[in-house]
Structure 1
Amino acid sequence: MDVWLPEPGSLERPIYLSLAEKVVEALQAGKLAEGARLPTHRELSFRLKVSAQTVSRAYEELARRGLVTSSVGRGSFVKHSLDKPAYPHSPERSETSIDLSILKPVSDSTHLEHMRRVLQDLAVDLPLTNFFSFRPNNALARHRSIGVDWLRSYGIEVDERNLMVTNGATPGMTLALMSVLSPGSTLLSEEIGHHTLNPLATYLGSKLHAVKIDSEGICPDSLEQACLEHNARALFIMPGPISPTVSVMSNGRRAEIAEIARRHGLFIVENDPLGALVDRGLLSFVELAPERTFYITSLTKSLMPGLRTGYVVVPSSLIPAITNRSLVTTWMATPLIAEIASRWIEDGTAKGLIDWQRKALAERHKLAAELLGGVQYLSHRQSLHIWLPLPKGHTEDGFVANARLRGVGVARGSAFTLSQHAQPPAIRISVGSTRPDELRRGLEIISAMLTEEPEPILHRL
């Protein structure tokens, strides 16, 4: 079989990115399949009259996108086809010096000082069950009780028997869906929603059907229709400002959705990782329909990225199911991290950091409003990001690529699209992932790009 080669003289500047795009075009046209061998650096350098360093940078770019894998002595091969899911955020090793693509709370020396202090305390009086117990009920009993207090602090009352401690919201989300979905069943969710939902449903042997949204989130009429047309088993929903489009669902809409779920026998998986960070006043689905709702929250996105402790409120009828699935996947949450979270909740550190986070986010949203004045975007005073629809003429791929060339990473809106229908081009910009000076510089670059003529380069990053 012939090794694929791009046409000589077809490359534009920057050469390495243009070469990477030629590989992408070949994938899109079916000229390269998964597992296909790419030309060697030396061969491509000779054929295209470019430096070996340029070829190397192009292959590194393709590897960054998750499309190519290389090994010494064997060469470079196509790793993934383009129809496989891609993460919206930039990888850990990225050329971008200002990463506004990944969703994180604001963190600074305050958080480090609290962590150093609690680790010093743990060295003196760490409970033996954290190290020596191998039974989840023994190791996590106290942590579960404190979790109940934490949820109560922002208005959610739950029986301790219905609460599970997890290593963050993502494991909780996985366990909940494992407990209610069966092969061939359908999971419903927002048409612009959680970027890991599509592959997760696939891994569980289920289908994902996207439901139309408006400014409040899922539309009741569209949900009703989806329930009538599909073998729907569960609804995954993000009714708060964690949703990509920062939509916040009103109490009236929540009540409508809960009634539809009850009428059609749907379980509800409510993802609320911001938890106590967001001012309350809105009812949780676990309050509206406790018999069918999994409520998921965590401290990771509201307090500190590395504090991977989450809480899942489980419907009473499904406690045995989710307990068994937890045992066969993770066994139990990491007791040491859960102990840190519990101590911070007990001694008031967690509440103090929540108050600190709210002020920090308010300042950052004020900065965004200042630098993006006149630009239409969606935000919430306690959201970790803003959703920015792109002006006419701009494409997501072109905008994201050119932002990265200027040292700024942003997330492509289409990474959150769960439906088969194209959505208006947009980008997600994290406001908490960098220092204030970096955020300012990143927003200045984005603001300038919005007023420029769009550059018609590049396809998918």
Structure 2
Amino acid sequence: MTIWRPDPALIRRPAYLSLADQFARAIHDGRLENGTRLPTHRRLADELHLSVQTVSRAYEELIRRGLVAGEIGRGTFVQTRKPEPVPPYLPERLGEVIDLSILKPVCETMHHDKMKQALGWLAENLPASAALSFRPNVVFPRHRAAAVEWLGHCGLETSQLNVSVTNGATAGMTVALMAAAPPGSTVAAEAIGHHTLVPLATYLGFNLEGLPIDEDGLIPDALDELCRHTDIRAVFVQPSVINPTATLMSKARRAAIVEVARRHDITIIENDVLGPLIEDRPLPLAALAPERALYVTSFTKITVPGLRIGYLAAPDRFVAAVANRHLVSNWMATPVVAEIATKWVQDGTAMQLVEWQRAAIRKRHSIAAEVLADARFHSHAESLHIWLPLPPGRSEESFVSQARLQNVAIAPGLSFRTSEAPWAPAVRISLGSTDEAELRTGLGVVAKLLLADPEHLLLAI
């Protein structure tokens, strides 16, 4: 039996990634079956006239994707069992790659200077409790007061007693899900949602049901139908532009989802990490249904990425559960970072950075509209990204790989999929993760790929 081998004529730069893509395609197509032993690094390098280092990097990339496994003393084997989920973004920026895969705010030297100034201030003003106390109730009352002020900017009125300070939105989401959805329960979400939801469902032991969406977000009738036939405990929503499709849910749609949640007595978990960045937006669902909504927001996407502090506002009946689950999963947010957030909320720096970000990201959208003028994509004037449906017959894997071979990283749409329903291939492109010149260049590569013949692209991979 002849074992499949990569075609050296199809290898493009960077060679390791092109080689890994050939192996990945052969595995997905069944030409390399589960358990097949791959050639040794040196043997394959000799066959393809590549360096051993290049083959080693290709195998490492396949291991990262969960397609092969290396066994010490035995070799490298195809592994087609379900791998750990791969983040939609690059774990690190390599060489000259234009990274449009990771969702970041626009940042300039000013942001670094602001953090350095804040740390200098902190050196002179750090409270003893922030450095010496283990007790959240000793450290955080003052920070909860600032949180209430900031949540007011988000459109939500609440009490200090209902707020937990968290290490960003991911911690807040996790605690909210732990509080609302015990193991074995069911949580509904948008069919195209947060990329951590699927692994979180596995780790926390709840069932995730992705529901249909339209141009206004989650469809209330679909949620109602699920509630009628399933013992659902919560619905997770991202109504304000942070969702992958950059949708801003209307006031009417928010009210309809609240009505379904009340009728079936389910909890709403609202992820609103952009908060006041979205200038003209309806009130949060948590403001419409304060008795049943857990609300998550943070500063990392709208001020400075290093300000990893967020707020989780909970109804009275969830306060104890949230506090307990926060203790066991995080103990408490990092006090010294909370000091900076509180200072910036109270002296107006945080809102100044939000307003700066709003202007900066609007400019990035103008660049995207110019470079991708012939493409149809979904966006919002203040979203940090665009959602680009691919033309008929184009696969995400091929499109993302071809962009990567041209040193541009974009996020595959499948990373955000929570449903097994029929899928329309798309990619997410971050607008804030690099400077304007690189953004223009990266979008130019995407625009050319959209115009290319898909059969030609397939042969080039």
Q: TM-score, normalising length from structure 2?
A: 0.92
- Which residue pairs with 1:6 in the alignment? 4
Aligned residues: 457
Q: Deviations over 1:327-359 (max 9, x none)?
A: 111100000111111111111111111111011
- Looking at structure 2, the residues matched to 30 and 327 of structure 1 have their Cα atoms a distance apart, in angstroms, of 49
Where in structure 2 are the equivalents of 1:53-72 lying within 5 Å?
Answer: 53-68=53-68
Q: Are the aligned partners of 1:5 and 1:39 in contact in 2 as well (CA < 8 Å)?
A: no
SS at match of 1:392: coil
Matched, 1:97 2:97: yes
Cα distance change on mapping 1:116 and 1:84 into 2, 3 Å: closer
- Which residue pairs with 1:227 in the alignment? 227
Cα distance change on mapping 1:458 and 1:293 into 2, 3 Å: farther
Q: Deviations over 1:156-213 (max 9, x none)?
A: 1111100110000011000011011122211100011111101111112111111110
Q: Are the aligned partners of 1:5 and 1:44 in contact in 2 as well (CA < 8 Å)?
A: no
- Looking at structure 2, the residues matched to 368 and 162 of structure 1 have their Cα atoms a distance apart, in angstroms, of 40
- Following superposition, the deviation at residue 444 of structure 1 comes to 1.4
* Gap regions ≥5 residues in structure 1: none
- Looking at structure 2, the residues matched to 407 and 16 of structure 1 have their Cα atoms a distance apart, in angstroms, of 13
Where in structure 2 are the equivalents of 1:26-41 lying within 5 Å?
Answer: 27-28=27-28, 29=30, 32-33=33-34, 38-41=38-41
- Which residue pairs with 1:371 in the alignment? 371
- Following superposition, the deviation at residue 417 of structure 1 comes to 1.2
Cα distance change on mapping 1:407 and 1:450 into 2, 3 Å: same
- Which residue pairs with 2:212 in the alignment? 212
- Following superposition, the deviation at residue 227 of structure 1 comes to 0.9
- Following superposition, the deviation at residue 105 of structure 1 comes to 0.4
Matched, 1:354 2:323: no
* Gap regions ≥5 residues in structure 2: none
* Shift >6 Å, 4+ stretches: 71-74
- Looking at structure 2, the residues matched to 74 and 352 of structure 1 have their Cα atoms a distance apart, in angstroms, of 58
- Which residue pairs with 2:288 in the alignment? 288
- Looking at structure 1, the residues matched to 254 and 313 of structure 2 have their Cα atoms a distance apart, in angstroms, of 18
Cα distance change on mapping 1:37 and 1:171 into 2, 3 Å: farther
- Following superposition, the deviation at residue 85 of structure 1 comes to 2.2
Where in structure 2 are the equivalents of 1:7-406 lying within 5 Å?
Answer: 7=5, 12-14=10-12, 16-17=16-17, 19-25=19-25, 27-28=27-28, 29=30, 32-33=33-34, 38-46=38-46, 51-68=51-68, 75-76=75-76, 81-82=81-82, 84-94=84-94, 97-406=97-406
Q: Deviations over 1:217-240 (max 9, x none)?
A: 011111111111222110000011
- Following superposition, the deviation at residue 307 of structure 1 comes to 0.7
- Following superposition, the deviation at residue 45 of structure 1 comes to 3.1
Q: Are the aligned partners of 1:413 and 1:427 in contact in 2 as well (CA < 8 Å)?
A: yes
SS at match of 2:140: helix
SS at match of 1:259: helix
Greater alpha carbon shift after TM alignment, 354-363 vs 420-429:
420-429
- Following superposition, the deviation at residue 52 of structure 1 comes to 2.9
For 2:175, the aligned partner's letter is L
Q: Deviations over 1:1-40 (max 9, x none)?
A: x9x9534758733364554245335544395548x76432
For 1:6, the aligned partner's letter is W
Q: Deviations over 1:409-457 (max 9, x none)?
A: 0111111111112321111110000011111111111112211212566
Cα distance change on mapping 1:72 and 1:106 into 2, 3 Å: farther
Cα distance change on mapping 1:9 and 1:214 into 2, 3 Å: closer
- Following superposition, the deviation at residue 48 of structure 1 comes to 5.6
- Following superposition, the deviation at residue 64 of structure 1 comes to 4.5
- Looking at structure 1, the residues matched to 96 and 261 of structure 2 have their Cα atoms a distance apart, in angstroms, of 43
SS at match of 1:183: coil
- Which residue pairs with 1:434 in the alignment? 434
Q: Are the aligned partners of 1:167 and 1:310 in contact in 2 as well (CA < 8 Å)?
A: yes
- Following superposition, the deviation at residue 56 of structure 1 comes to 2.6
Cα distance change on mapping 1:84 and 1:217 into 2, 3 Å: same
Q: Are the aligned partners of 1:234 and 1:269 in contact in 2 as well (CA < 8 Å)?
A: yes
For 1:155, the aligned partner's letter is G
For 2:403, the aligned partner's letter is A
- Looking at structure 2, the residues matched to 340 and 243 of structure 1 have their Cα atoms a distance apart, in angstroms, of 28
- Looking at structure 2, the residues matched to 281 and 54 of structure 1 have their Cα atoms a distance apart, in angstroms, of 50
Where in structure 2 are the equivalents of 1:437-452 lying within 5 Å?
Answer: 437-452=437-452
Q: Are the aligned partners of 2:162 and 2:313 in contact in 1 as well (CA < 8 Å)?
A: yes
- Looking at structure 2, the residues matched to 79 and 131 of structure 1 have their Cα atoms a distance apart, in angstroms, of 47
- Looking at structure 2, the residues matched to 215 and 196 of structure 1 have their Cα atoms a distance apart, in angstroms, of 23
Q: Deviations over 1:50-102 (max 9, x none)?
A: 55344234224324535456588675456774554221112214356200000
CA-atom RMSD, angstroms? 2.5
For 1:91, the aligned partner's letter is P
- Looking at structure 2, the residues matched to 247 and 137 of structure 1 have their Cα atoms a distance apart, in angstroms, of 38
Greater alpha carbon shift after TM alignment, 193-202 vs 152-161:
152-161
For 2:122, the aligned partner's letter is L
- Looking at structure 1, the residues matched to 218 and 183 of structure 2 have their Cα atoms a distance apart, in angstroms, of 25
Cα distance change on mapping 1:434 and 1:50 into 2, 3 Å: closer
- Looking at structure 1, the residues matched to 363 and 19 of structure 2 have their Cα atoms a distance apart, in angstroms, of 41
Q: TM-score, normalising length from structure 1?
A: 0.92
For 2:440, the aligned partner's letter is R
Cα distance change on mapping 1:228 and 1:168 into 2, 3 Å: same
Q: Are the aligned partners of 1:64 and 1:91 in contact in 2 as well (CA < 8 Å)?
A: no
Percent identity between the two aligned chains:
49
Q: Are the aligned partners of 1:398 and 1:455 in contact in 2 as well (CA < 8 Å)?
A: no
Q: Are the aligned partners of 2:217 and 2:249 in contact in 1 as well (CA < 8 Å)?
A: yes
